[in-house]
Amino acid sequence: MNILICGLGLIGGSLAKALKKNTSYKVLGWNRTKSVAEKALDEGAVDEIGELEDLIPKADVTVINFYPKSIVPFILEHKDLFKKDSIVTDSCGIKTEICREMEKYDLDFYFIGAHPMAGREVGGYDNSLDNLFDNASFICTPTESTPRNKTDALVGIAQNMGFARTVVTTPEHHDEMIAFTSQIAHVLACSYVLSPLAPMHEGYSAGSYRDVSRVARINADMWTELFIANKEPLVREIDDLVSNLMQFKYNIVNEDEEALRALMEKGNRIKEEIG
């Protein structure tokens, strides 16, 4: 089986390296900046590089690792090159917009959206790791029209690659959950370091500062696309969070010890239960 990785940045590079390390699939690699693909070939992260016209027709599975807005146009531009019945997938952080758009086209290959749930504060091929996904979840989001055996095949590849767990869900549920588990954390981290006190944190900070501020090192271009593409679920999460913060504020302003304690006890109980 041939797996083509298009886009050899942090995620694409790590997928290629994990495939080479953990499976015997043949890994084809393509990257817009050719020197990156050449480096990946030299390092053994991929088995073959070349032009899209040569690589795409050979691929049983194509994984597209681009920013959200570029994914559908790329697939449509090359739609006549994909092997019949092959699987085309992606790795970006929102799924509804892409999967529901791809559903509209009658194609002789199968698009299944996917999201390997791992990242780093640093991007690019040079920061990619063969173990980036070792403790990570692989989420894929088939639609009602995706054949079951195609979904199973993609899940099987993810398991062989070394993902700790795989999740199959709808694009909509993925986007709702990711608004909570990932997007709002990035919104928060940026909002947090924008405090006028942030530049003076040294000597006054320990683990809490480090943890909350970590993902403020953000790729602004990519996350702008992700946030706007997931507008409704994300705004709902921001509203919920702000409303909870305001509850804390009112209880503190009113020195309402009982209500404040109850709020924290509830948070503590939830965290203890859900991990």
Q: Is residue 153 at the binding interface for a copy of itself, with CB under 8 A as the rule?
A: no
The Cα angle at residue 244 between residues 239 and 250, in degrees rounded to 5: 120
Does residue 46 contact residue 5 with C-beta atoms inside 8 Å? yes
Residues 54-83 touching a copy of itself, rule: CB under 8 A, are none
Binding range to a copy of itself, per CB under 8 A, among 11-19, 40-48, 114-122, 143-151: 114-122
Q: Is residue 106 at the binding interface for a copy of itself, with CB under 8 A as the rule?
A: no
Separation between Cα atoms, residue 29 and residue 25, nearest integer Å: 13
Separation between Cα atoms, residue 155 and residue 39, nearest integer Å: 29
What element of type H or E holds 237? helix 231-253
Query: What's the closest the beta carbon of residue 11 comes to a copy of itself, in angstroms?
Result: 12
Contact flags string 213-232 toward a copy of itself, x per CB under 8 A: xxxxxx-xx-xx--xx--x-
Contact flags string 189-218 toward a copy of itself, x per CB under 8 A: xxxxxxxxxxxxxxxxxxxxx-xxxxxxxx
Query: What's the closest the beta carbon of residue 107 comes to a copy of itself, in angstroms?
Result: 28
**Which member of 85, 126, 147, 264 binds a copy of itself (CB under 8 A)?**
264
> Which of 257, 25, 71 has the alpha carbon at shortest distance from 15?
25
Q: What is the CA radius of gyration of the chain?
A: 21
Q: Is residue 181 at the binding interface for a copy of itself, with CB under 8 A as the rule?
A: yes
23: exposed, middle or buried (Cβ count in 10 Å: 0-12, 13-18, 19+): middle
Contact flags string 126-145 toward a copy of itself, x per CB under 8 A: ----------xx-x------
Nearer to a copy of itself, 54 or 265 (CB): 265
**Which member of 131, 143, 167, 172 binds a copy of itself (CB under 8 A)?**
167
Does residue 218 contact residue 195 with C-beta atoms inside 8 Å? no
What element of type H or E holds 114? strand 110-116
Nearer to a copy of itself, 148 or 194 (CB): 194
Residues with Cβ within 8 Å of residue 225, at least 6 apart in sequence? 67, 68, 69
Nearer to a copy of itself, 54 or 126 (CB): 126
Query: What's the closest the beta carbon of residue 69 comes to a copy of itself, in angstroms?
Result: 10
**Which member of 36, 61, 117, 158 binds a copy of itself (CB under 8 A)?**
117
Nearer to a copy of itself, 105 or 247 (CB): 247
Cα distances from 220 to residues 40, 195, 217, 230, in angstroms, run 26, 18, 9, 15
Number of shown-chain residues binding a copy of itself (CB under 8 A): 90
Structure tokens at 140: 């894929």
What are φ and ψ of residue 242, in 5° steps?
Answer: -65, -40
Q: Is residue 174 at the binding interface for a copy of itself, with CB under 8 A as the rule?
A: yes
Q: Is residue 265 at the binding interface for a copy of itself, with CB under 8 A as the rule?
A: yes
**Which member of 4, 118, 140, 157 binds a copy of itself (CB under 8 A)?**
118
